[in-house]
Each structure stands twice: as C-alpha cells, then as structure tokens.
Amino acid sequence: MSAPDDSAGTSKKASRSPSPTSPRPQRKIACHFCRHRKLRCDSARPVCGNCTRRSLPCSYDEAHKKRGPDRFPGRRRKKAAEHKVGEDKANTKTS
C-alpha cells in the first residue's frame, strides 16, 4: 500500500493571477441603450454597432459604476460636511 500522491492535486490549484508582463485587458463599458436593452455592446466610440444599426444616439458613462452596497454609508457626506466646516472656519479667521 503506497501513500496517495499529493503533487497531482496541487497542480490543479494553480494561481490564476495574470503574469506581471502582460497588462490586464481593459473592461468594456456598454452604452446606455445596450445596457438598458441588455444587449452585447461592442463599445465602439463614438457610436457602437447596435446604435449605428438603429440610427440612435449613443452615449456612455464617464466613470465606472461601482457595484454593491456602500462599504461605509454616509462617509462621503460626512467628509463633505467636515470640509465645509473647515472652509467656514478659515473664512472667519481671515475676515
């Protein structure tokens, strides 16, 4: 009776991280029409293929939309309020 070979099991769990020499492929962002209709958008600029075929105006979001709930709810509002209070204090000192 020989012990089972563990080396075969570890070869299947290879790291899936991309190699440092190859850059990550850029994410394609669907235009508003394709996103609304759940179509596959080719992300061609300035007008994608679906919008060209339908003679529609094509528009994209400037920034990526983040998915999921906010990790720290209210943090942005608190920072904006603190920043405004700091500006108010600076303005009263100079006046």
Q: Which CATH architecture describes the domain 27-62? A: Irregular (4.10)
Q: pTM for this structure? A: 0.44
Q: For residue 32, what pLDDT is reported?
A: 93
The pLDDT value given to residue 29: 86
Dig out the tokens for 70 from the structure.
């906010």
Please state the φ and ψ torsions of residue 44, each to the nearest 5 degrees. Answer: -70, 140
Q: Any idea which residue has 């070979």 for tokens?
A: 5
Domains of the chain: which residue ranges?
27-62
pLDDT tens across 10-61, in order?
555 555 665 667 777 777 789 999 999 999 999 899 999 999 999 999 999 8
